[in-house]
Amino acid sequence: MKKILIVIFLFPITLFAQSDKSISAKNIPKNIPEFLGKYFPSHGKVSYFIEQDGDTMCYEADFKYMKQQYSLLFDTLGNMIEKEIKISFDTLPDLIKKSIEGKLTVDLEKYKIEQTQTVDYRGKLLYEIQVRGKKNKEIEFYEYYFNRAGEFVKVETIVLKPIPSLY
């Protein structure tokens, strides 16, 4: 019974964790820490990951800067390609929130917004909304993308990868 409870309580924590592999700062391109020092002086502790998406490999740097959680994605040469900043859904303008909630209500029978981020992907500015939702009696996890005007861009189903068991 204790094992089941542990899994239930830890599941939301690992829910949106990607299948990234943690790596040491000494194993990333030298210009990534230099970039962070230049553009994010006095940033908090940085966690580095290798992210594999199909044939594409990237480096991810997660850290806090000025009380906000950042996640930066770099190509294999160390050039930044994406910046995500975690925000509260409640801080979005009312018109944007209504647009997002309207789309979620149309798509899903029930939903809960798990995380909201601003995304700058190579100059394209978006909101990323991570949602747990019920659709056709199945509960799944989604990433919804909206432009900065609140218009729907796309949705992706989050495929949860199994976590290796210790038992």
For residues 58 and 6, which has the higher predicted lDDT (pLDDT)? Answer: 58
pLDDT band at 20 (very low <50, low <70, confident <90, very high): confident
Tell me which residue of 23, 25, 20, 62 sits closest to 40, measured CA to CA. 62
What's residue 164's pLDDT? 63
Alpha-carbon distance of 70 to 153, in angstroms, equals: 22
Rounded mean pLDDT, 6-26: 58
CATH fold of 1-86, please? Nuclear Transport Factor 2; Chain: A, (3.10.450)
Tokens 């809960």, residue? Answer: 112
Q: Provide, rounded to the nearest whole percent, the portion of the chain with pLDDT above 70.
A: 84
Give 3's contacts (C-beta < 8 A, 6+ positions apart): 167
For the record, the structure tokens of 89 come out as 């859904």
**C-alpha angle with apex 115: 58 to 22, nearest 5 degrees?**
30
Which architecture characterizes domain 88-159 according to CATH? Roll (3.10)
Q: Tell me: the pLDDT tens digits for 137-163? A: 999 999 999 999 999 999 999 887 666
Alpha-carbon distance of 72 to 9, in angstroms, equals: 28
Ranges in the chain annotated CATH 3.10.450.360: 1-86, 88-159
What's residue 134's pLDDT? 95
pLDDT of 77 above 90: yes
**C-alpha angle with apex 20: 56 to 157, nearest 5 degrees?**
75
pLDDT band at 108 (very low <50, low <70, confident <90, very high): very high
Alpha-carbon distance of 87 to 38, in angstroms, equals: 23
Average confidence score pLDDT of the chain: 87
